[in-house]
Structure 1
Amino acid sequence: MKNVALYNLGCKVNSYETDGMRQMLEEKGYRIVPFDRQADIYIVNTCTVTNIADRKSRQILHRAKQLNPDAVVVAVGCYVQTGREAVEKDESIDLAIGNNHKKDIVEILETFLADRQDKTLQGRTVPEIGNIREYEEMQLRRTSEHTRAYIKVQDGCNQFCSYCAIPYARGRVRSRRAEDVLREVRGMTEAGYREVVLTGIHLSSYGIDFEGDAGYNGSSCLLDLTEKLHEIPGVERIRLGSLEPRIITSETAERMAAMPKLCPHFHLSLQSGCDNTLKRMNRHYTAGEYYNSVEILRRYFANPAVTTDVITGFPGETEEEFRQTREFLEKVCFYEIHVFKYSRRAGTAAAIMPNQVPEQVKVSRSKELLELTARQSVQFRSGYIGRDAEVLLEEEREIDGRVYLVGHTKDYVKAAVDITEKTSSALPVLNTVVKIPVKKFLTDEILV
């Protein structure tokens, strides 16, 4: 029996796929051990969303070889797809497996182990992913989360934003069949999961390949799937991953609002509040259209949690364009803003654009937006003080010498129940939803 250690980098889709590989290896008799332990095989599910992600992927692969020079080190995923030449030259890597072959991890690994003489990349492990049209199906029975099940329903992206290499790493849109999603979610609820989070590389495109790419109908397919999940007994909450603002219309918002299990927590990708910058980014909406989408959500949901991503220092971003973005963020008033400094990504259109912004300017602008989102987040969470909150309890945590059960509300606000002096018969149970009166902030991020 061989010991296998897995390490995941990047997004929730990667995390789902790492859980899938772990499950398949366990089923074949491999023993899973922590990554910092000596193992016979190290598998790193890599990320390539930025140059920093590439570097982190290389560092983890090299660390694996240092932990056990005799081990088989396997590079998997996005970095393999976009950095093939670097991967081929990297002597720390024994085997590379591209996207859409993660489901074949056991077969590929055992073939390699049977013939350790061939340390070169095998063509079948690194496909030309742009031509792949079939979804890579996995069926998970559990995930690395204990109460919240992230369910991958879509892969690939057709958007080609000028800063992003993901379409080259993941290929074109491929959607999962509803019957496969429903079967997996039913199994997850039987295993005790109460919350389902739908995720994908470009979730808003779910289903467009079902219609032969004829028109933008992803929102309809995604809501069709969500409504079917809503009917499954045992599913108490449904959360949607990152969405494009243009799929939010009065019709879609009305359908969403008709599902009580759907969490009023919407992550609408923005990237910039300046139309000129959005155009250079090849984003397919204006700031005004984005704002209209947010206003639609606020008409159909009472104070929904709206979160977003913003890139600072995109090529050509002037002080005036940054000011427009900041003013737009203040106008929308988000629950949370994930702020990223622009990272120059080789092979993308933005990498060769003129007027690249100096690093110190990116840092300054990023700091300014992080201060803004910290204030807005406190403002949103403060709205719970004096009200009752329904919290899905997820973990036990000790804070300042007292013991709490901590979880999230439907709009993803973190809250806690003090159990320090409760008897065992009076203790709330993890993985259940409880209603608690909110009185104050326990920490900077947790209400109690």
Structure 2
Amino acid sequence: MSWGIWEEKALVKPKAAIYTLGCKVNQNESDAIISTLAHAGYEEVSFEDKADVYIINTCTVTHLADRKSRQMIRRAVKTNPRAVVAVTGCYAQTAPGEVLGISGVNLVIGTRDRHRLAELIEEAKEGRAPINAVRDIMDAQAFEEISQEEVLPHKSRAYLKIQEGCNQYCSYCIIPYARGPMRSRPVDRVIRRAEELVAGGYQEIILTGIHTGAYGVDLAGNVDLAFLVERLIRIEGLKRLRISSIDPHEIGERLLNVIAGSPVLCRHLHIPLQSGDDAVLQRMNRVYDTAQYAELIGGIRQRVPGIALTTDIMVGFPGETEEEFLHSYQFIERIDFSGLHVFKYSPRQGTPAATFPHQVAPEIKESWSNKLITLGRRLLKNYAEKHIGSVLDVLVEQHTRISGQAYWEGHTDNYLHVAFPSAQDVKGQLIDVRLETYRDGFIFGHPEQGAARGL
């Protein structure tokens, strides 16, 4: 073989592909993992392509998430049986034995020590027995940086992880066991990362975490989410700051003052309710009742007119009766949310609720879920149609086709999903769009004259 061929082979980068299941935190962590592998000399390719390394970043919030995780692991093995298959995330953390039992898996790493991923992949390439690198997460004490994250150029909105873990221990939830105790990212690191993202061209930053509203409880000084937000909105060039999710008891006056007074903070809060029945909430170990929740929502709307308020709703919690479901349905309807994320209760081994009596039949869960999904669509339509005729700025995320026609799509600050036509490439820009009609989850409109801003 000639030296030229050796040199050519040496210049070929190994290929890595990643598949992400679950929440926005997982997506943020997958970006950091790809950055880690890029620093180690890997080239990212599509998960459908033949790669040298496949990473599956798993979710375990439901049995369906577990099953989907296993499906994607097997798909990677089938695509290239000679590749290193590495499994990370919450399912890997809580069930490493199950994951290692899947033929073709080379490495399991869970939700800790992922800064070592490139090193462990090299060990796995040596072809010995599969590596179980999962460590106990419950003694984790500090926020773990996965990598020196790159500013990825192909996205319009950036997710910024500000904390890890949860101390709430809702009776149905496996996540505290998968993620460990609360650990906040130090304020200076959050600010530095946000400045990097803005300098890289991002117009919107979304604060994410496992329990975002509890940010700062483990940090010294008077540090909380409101303090962090006050610092972030002062970053020059940042157009939008969004909070991904926050529990109702963590929305205080200081945070509401910032939302009401800053044009940078998005007029959208996702506030998990889980159930609109007090008895169910108590069994769930939620720390509020419906009266407190309703009072909070009324106060928010009074302070921030037009704000979008979305929520999570669980159906079929153990012992939930038709009467309790009806209470929940009526409460949700009365609160008049802007959108619902509905999911069916799934028993998680190791959680108290998995042992509760009177587990609800699957067909009843399905029926209740369908009823709430239908209600959610109606509530979204009602909220969207209140904005018909308005001109709102849309952060453009991607080009798409809807019913065979070409559109640009994106979101307003109050999380309306907007589609509009434009012959120009406007991805990543803020565009003033006149909203005209609502159909199938989208508000369709047209850009105003001289509508492009930013970049």
Describe the SS at the equivalent of 1:410. coil
Tell me the residue number matched to 1:265: 268
Aligned CA-pair RMSD: 1.7
Q: Measured at CA, do residues 136 and 276 of structure 1 come closer, stay the same or move farther in structure 2, by a change above 3 Å?
A: same
Tell me the residue number matched to 2:77: 65
Contact 2:407 2:420 in 1 (8 A): yes
Shift of 1:76: 0.9
Shift of 1:292: 1.3
Shift of 1:67: 1.3
Tell me the residue number matched to 2:128: 117
- TM-score, normalization by structure 2: 0.91
Contact 1:46 1:79 in 2 (8 A): yes
Contact 1:246 1:285 in 2 (8 A): yes
* Structure 2: 5+ residue stretches without partners: 1-12, 446-455
CA distance, structure 2, for counterparts of residue 301 and residue 3 of structure 1 = 48
Describe the SS at the equivalent of 1:446. strand
CA distance, structure 2, for counterparts of residue 444 and residue 12 of structure 1 = 21
CA distance, structure 2, for counterparts of residue 429 and residue 337 of structure 1 = 30
| Equivalent residue for 1:317, pick from 311, 316, 320 | 320
Tell me the residue number matched to 1:430: 427
Tell me the residue number matched to 1:341: 344
Q: Measured at CA, do residues 60 and 21 of structure 1 come closer, stay the same or move farther in structure 2, by a change above 3 Å?
A: same
Describe the SS at the equivalent of 1:129. coil
Contact 2:259 2:265 in 1 (8 A): yes
CA distance, structure 2, for counterparts of residue 71 and residue 247 of structure 1 = 45
Bigger CA drift: 362-371 or 25-34? 25-34
CA distance, structure 1, for counterparts of residue 376 and residue 158 of structure 2 = 27
Q: Deviations over 1:342-371 (max 9, x none)?
A: 111111111110011101110111111111
Shift of 1:91: 2.6
Which residue identity is paired with 2:138?
G
Contact 2:186 2:219 in 1 (8 A): no
Tell me the residue number matched to 2:360: 357
| Equivalent residue for 1:9, pick from 21, 31, 35 | 21
Tell me the residue number matched to 1:187: 196
CA distance, structure 1, for counterparts of residue 439 and residue 289 of structure 2 = 39
| Equivalent residue for 1:165, pick from 167, 174, 188 | 174
Describe the SS at the equivalent of 1:76. strand
Tell me the residue number matched to 1:296: 299
- 1:440 and 2:412 aligned: no
Q: Deviations over 1:91-150 (max 9, x none)?
A: 33111112121122112222332x3223242xxx21111001111114423248611000
| Equivalent residue for 1:281, pick from 281, 284, 290 | 284
CA distance, structure 1, for counterparts of residue 286 and residue 416 of structure 2 = 29
Count matched residues: 432
Which residue identity is paired with 2:136?
E
Which residue identity is paired with 2:142?
E
| Equivalent residue for 2:140, pick from 132, 139, 146 | 132
Q: Measured at CA, do residues 428 and 99 of structure 1 come closer, stay the same or move farther in structure 2, by a change above 3 Å?
A: closer
Q: Measured at CA, do residues 82 and 433 of structure 1 come closer, stay the same or move farther in structure 2, by a change above 3 Å?
A: same
- 1:306 and 2:302 aligned: no
| Equivalent residue for 2:55, pick from 37, 40, 43 | 43
CA distance, structure 2, for counterparts of residue 397 and residue 443 of structure 1 = 15
Shift of 1:402: 4.3
Contact 2:110 2:134 in 1 (8 A): yes
Q: Measured at CA, do residues 418 and 285 of structure 1 come closer, stay the same or move farther in structure 2, by a change above 3 Å?
A: same
Shift of 1:309: 0.4
CA distance, structure 2, for counterparts of residue 106 and residue 398 of structure 1 = 38
Shift of 1:243: 0.3
CA distance, structure 2, for counterparts of residue 119 and residue 71 of structure 1 = 13
Shift of 1:432: 2.0
| Equivalent residue for 1:378, pick from 364, 375, 381 | 381
| Equivalent residue for 2:64, pick from 40, 52, 72 | 52
* Structure 1: 5+ residue stretches without partners: 421-426
| Equivalent residue for 2:150, pick from 141, 145, 163 | 141
CA distance, structure 2, for counterparts of residue 71 and residue 85 of structure 1 = 20
Bigger CA drift: 165-174 or 90-99? 90-99
- TM-score, normalization by structure 1: 0.92
Shift of 1:156: 0.4
| Equivalent residue for 2:216, pick from 191, 202, 207 | 207
Contact 1:249 1:296 in 2 (8 A): no
Which residue identity is paired with 1:165?
I
Shift of 1:77: 1.8
Shift of 1:85: 2.3
Q: Measured at CA, do residues 278 and 153 of structure 1 come closer, stay the same or move farther in structure 2, by a change above 3 Å?
A: same
Q: Measured at CA, do residues 144 and 45 of structure 1 come closer, stay the same or move farther in structure 2, by a change above 3 Å?
A: farther
Tell me the residue number matched to 2:101: 89
CA distance, structure 1, for counterparts of residue 121 and residue 143 of structure 2 = 21
Tell me the residue number matched to 2:5: none
Tell me the residue number matched to 2:9: none
Q: Measured at CA, do residues 144 and 323 of structure 1 come closer, stay the same or move farther in structure 2, by a change above 3 Å?
A: farther
Bigger CA drift: 179-188 or 269-278? 179-188
Which residue identity is paired with 1:63?
R
CA distance, structure 1, for counterparts of residue 292 and residue 54 of structure 2 = 46
- 1:388 and 2:391 aligned: yes
Describe the SS at the equivalent of 2:363. helix
| Equivalent residue for 1:101, pick from 96, 105, 113 | 113
Tell me the residue number matched to 1:424: none
CA distance, structure 2, for counterparts of residue 367 and residue 419 of structure 1 = 36
Contact 2:267 2:307 in 1 (8 A): yes
CA distance, structure 1, for counterparts of residue 200 and residue 104 of structure 2 = 38
Shift of 1:287: 0.9
Bigger CA drift: 163-172 or 138-147? 138-147
